[in-house]
C-alpha cells in the first residue's frame, strides 16, 4: 500500500500507510472545509458514515499536524495515497499547495463553507481559549512555529491582539483559502454546503451528503448519526470547541470598522458563496 515517509537516510521513517479498505469497488470521495467552518463536525459525521458503505476514512492532514509537519513541508509524494476506489479523504481545512490530488477530476467532492467573518471570530476564541496545540509545537523548538498555520503562532497572535485587530490580521490567510476553493469550484463540480444552512438541519444535511456521494445507509443509522452530532449549546461556552453555533456572530463581536475591512477583503468570495453584504 502507498505510504508516506519523512526524514533522510537512517532517520527516514514511515508516518502513514494507506489502510486496507473493505469496499474496493466503491468510488473514492473528497470532503473539504475550512478552519471553524464545521470541519470537525464534517469529519465526525463522515467517520460514522464510512463503515456503512465500506470506505476507509483518511485524514492525512491530521497525520501531518500530529507530526508537526508544516503545510509547506508536506512531501509531494503524498499524492500517491489518493486512489480512485475505496476511500473517503477528509480533514482538509484548505486546498493543499505542496502536493496534488490526482483523483480530483474524477471523484465526487463536497465543500463545507461558512461566512468568513464568523469563521474568524470563532477562530479567535478557539486559538485564545480552547484549541489544543500539537504536542511537538512547543517552545523547545521555536523554529517550527514560524509558519502562520502553526497553532502556536496563531495562539500568540490571539494573545497579543483584541478580537477586532486579530480578525483583520488573520483575514488574508483565510481569504487565500477561500480563493483556492473558489477556483476549485469554478474548475470542477463541487457540492457546496453552507454551515448556516446545515447547522440546525443536521438530518437533512446528512441525507443530502449521502445522496451526493451515492451512499446507501440505513435510515436508522442516519437518524442515530444526526442525533449524535446535533450539538447546539443553550449558552455561549467560550472555552469549548463548540462555543456557539448561531450564524451572524461577527455582528455581535466585532466593531463597524473591522466588519468593513472584512467585507472588503472577502467581497468576491462572499459573493461567490452566497453571503450577502451591505449595499
User: What pLDDT, in 10s, does the model give residues 177-189?
Assistant: 999 999 999 999 9
For 167-216, write each residue's pLDDT tens digit: 999 999 999 999 999 999 999 999 999 999 999 999 999 999 999 999 99
The three grid cell numbers given for residue 177, joined into one nine-digit string? 483559502
What are the angstrom distances between the C-alpha of 252 and each of 94, 123, 164, 255, 271? 27, 15, 12, 8, 22
CA distance 28 to 154: 33
What residue has cell string 476553493? Answer: 181
Q: HSE, CB side, 13 Å, CA atoms: give it for residue 159.
A: 8
CA distance 210 to 108: 11
Strands across the sheet containing 56-58? 56-58, 87-92, 29-32, 108-113, 191-194
* pLDDT value of residue 96: 96
* pLDDT value of residue 244: 46
Query: Where are the chain's structural domains?
Result: 3-273
- Within the chain, strands assigned E span 3-6, 13-17, 29-32, 56-58, 87-92, 108-113, 191-194
Fold category of 3-273 in CATH: Rossmann fold (3.40.50)
Assess whether pLDDT exceeds 70 at residue 24: yes
Assess whether pLDDT exceeds 50 at residue 144: no
For 26-62, write each residue's pLDDT tens digit: 999 999 999 999 999 999 999 999 999 999 999 999 9
Amino acid at each position: 500500500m502507498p505510504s508516506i515517509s519523512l526524514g533522510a537516510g537512517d532517520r527516514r521513517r514511515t508516518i502513514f500507510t494507506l489502510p486496507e479498505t473493505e469496499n474496493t469497488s466503491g468510488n473514492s470521495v473528497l470532503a473539504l472545509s475550512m478552519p471553524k467552518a464545521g470541519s470537525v463536525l464534517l469529519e465526525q459525521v463522515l467517520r460514522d458514515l464510512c463503515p456503512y458503505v465500506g470506505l476507509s476514512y483518511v485524514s492525512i492532514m491530521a497525520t501531518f499536524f500530529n507530526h508537526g509537519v508544516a503545510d509547506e513541508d508536506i512531501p509531494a509524494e503524498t499524492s500517491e495515497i489518493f486512489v480512485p476506489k475505496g476511500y473517503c479523504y477528509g480533514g482538509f481545512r484548505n486546498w493543499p499547495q505542496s502536493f496534488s490530488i490526482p483523483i480530483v477530476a474524477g471523484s465526487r467532492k463536497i465543500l463545507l463553507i461558512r461566512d468568513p467573518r464568523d469563521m474568524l471570530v470563532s477562530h479567535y476564541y478557539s486559538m485564545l481559549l480552547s484549541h489544543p496545540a500539537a504536542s511537538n509545537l512547543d517552545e523547545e523548538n521555536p523554529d517550527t512555529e514560524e509558519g502562520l498555520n502553526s497553532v502556536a503562532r496563531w495562539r500568540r497572535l490571539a494573545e497579543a491582539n483584541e478580537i477586532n485587530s486579530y480578525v483583520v490580521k488573520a483575514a488574508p490567510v483565510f481569504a487565500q483559502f477561500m480563493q483556492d476553493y473558489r477556483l476549485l469550484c469554478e474548475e470542477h463540480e463541487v457540492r457546496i454546503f453552507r454551515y448556516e444552512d446545515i447547522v440546525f438541519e443536521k438530518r437533512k444535511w446528512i441525507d443530502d451528503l449521502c445522496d451526493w456521494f451515492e451512499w446507501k445507509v440505513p435510515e436508522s443509522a442516519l437518524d442515530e448519526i444526526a442525533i449524535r452530532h446535533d450539538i447546539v449549546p443553550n449558552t455561549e461556552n467560550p472555552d469549548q470547541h463548540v462555543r456557539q453555533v448561531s450564524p451572524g456572530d461577527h455582528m455581535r463581536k466585532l466593531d463597524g470598522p473591522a466588519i468593513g475591512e472584512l467585507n472588503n477583503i472577502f467581497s468576491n468570495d462572499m459573493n461567490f458563496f452566497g453571503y450577502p453584504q451591505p449595499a
